[in-house]
Structures are given as C-alpha cells and as structure tokens.
Amino acid sequence: MTSALIQHETKLYCIRYDDFANTLFYQLGLKQFGSMHKLKLDPPQPLRDLLEIAIENEPGLTAAGHDPTQVLKVKIIELRCNMPEFCELNGLYLSIVKIAQARLYERREMLEEYFSLEIDNNAKLAALPLILPGYTPNFDNLPGFLLCMVFKVNWEEEEHCFHDVLDQLADFYTPRHALPVSNHEEEKNQAMDIDNLAALEPNSQHDITKEEAEYDKHQLEHVLFPAFRKYGNFPKGLMNKSMRKLTDLPQLYKVFERC
C-alpha cells in the first residue's frame, strides 16, 4: 500500500506518501533549478530503445502511473493533419519514436543546463538529475518518463515548459509501488473501522520482488520521510486531501476508561 502511519506529538495520522513525495520532488527540483547534481548512467542508454519500450508497453506504463495511450492517439491525429508523409509508413509507432527521439535530442542543451538531464552526441541518455541525494527512482518507469517528456511538455512557451518538465521529473521520482504487507497486517487493516480509509489506497497493485520491496522500504524510511521533515513545505490542500488524523492519546484514554 502507498499509505503510511506517522505520529506527531500525541496524534496518529495516515498519509498518502506518494502524493507528498510528488510535491516534495517538484519543490526540490524548483529550488535546484539550473544547479542539480547528476545521476550518471553507466552505460548510457539509447533514447530510441527506451522510447520503443515505452510505446510497446502501454499496460505497464499505466500500472506505473503513466497513461501515454491517449497522448499517442492525439499525436497520431496531429501527424495525420500536419505530417501526412508519416502516415504512409507501415510502422506509425516507429515514426513516433523517431519524432520523440529528435524532439529530446534537439533540446539536449537546455535539458542539461537547467535539469541536468544529459543526452550525449550519440542520442544516448547519459545522466538524470539527482534531485534528492540518497534516493534512486524506479528505472522501470524511465521509458514512460521519456515518452511523457516528449508529449506532455509544452515546448513552445518557456514558463510552461519549465513547469511541465519539473512536473514529469516529480512524477518519475515519486514511488508508485504498493509495498506488500503480511497476511496479519492485511487482517488488521480490514478490521480497522475508519471511514473512507480505503479511498486513500490506489486502485491498482504493482507486483514487486522481495528485494525491491526491501529497498523501497529502506528509501522511504531513511531518505524520503526524513526529507519530508527537512525540506517539505506542503500546501493545505494536500494536507486535507492526502493526510487524515486517525486518533490521539486523549481519545484513546477515554476509550480505555469506558472499558
């Protein structure tokens, strides 16, 4: 599950940590705009290969929090209207890959200068921004991130462009896994009589290995949650939507007194 229990003084809260993480990564990216450190990829990965994976694996992207299907449909319509020569090709997806690769490659200098996203002269992804030291994003989501960078960013207006790139980076860095819980914990969760708590849970589950789950748990506990306390400046709307108070000690004492 992507929810977690946290304690503040005498109060116990349930939070959707993916929502808080998304806001945190956007804020950190904005604060470090133009001065982010780099997370080097060794070896660099060809943009073409990553974009092909993204287009061929739409169900996996949706489970990971991306939804490129509608974006692709829109781009196909645009291609038919504005670039009819591409529609004569047998492989329309292949033409989209070429367009997507060219769009990222043409903007590689800007992406590296402001966002530390490095694309080398061979059209290979060489580095990603290191937004939060000690935190590594899920690279299974990298192909979808690149596809969304191409088609979900307004490249025509500078202010919108910067906002959209930060938005996609925050989405890429946000943990989307639903950490597995034991049968005992599931029974406890089902027994909890808390209104609308189920509404805080995501609709889909993404299977992960035990090693991935342990690594994600370590990052959450030792990197992400400390960063919430140290760097987070969360808006009231987010607090109301993705955090709710479950109980506090005075309320528990009253319950015990009645027993």
Give percent of the chain with pLDDT exceeding 70.
Answer: 69
Residue identified by tokens 């780099």 is: 38
Dihedral sign for Cα atoms in the order 190, 193, 194, 195? positive
What is the bridge-based pairing of β-strands 124-130 and 243-248?
unpaired
What is the bridge-based pairing of β-strands 243-248 and 11-16?
antiparallel
Give the Cα separation of 57 and 109 in Å (integer).
Answer: 29
Q: Letter for the amino acid at 252?
A: L
Q: Letter for the amino acid at 214?
A: E
Mean of pLDDT values over 183-190: 45
Give the Cα separation of 175 and 140 in Å (integer).
Answer: 11
Q: Is 70 exposed, middle or buried (0-12, 13-18, 19+ CB in 10 A)?
A: exposed
Amino acid 162: pLDDT: 96
10-67 pLDDT tens trace: 888 888 999 999 999 999 999 999 999 999 999 999 999 999 888 776 554 454 444 5
Return the DSSP state at 121. T
Mean of pLDDT values over 239-257: 77
Q: Is 15 exposed, middle or buried (0-12, 13-18, 19+ CB in 10 A)?
A: buried
- pLDDT above 90 (res 97): no
pLDDT band at 88 (very low <50, low <70, confident <90, very high): very low
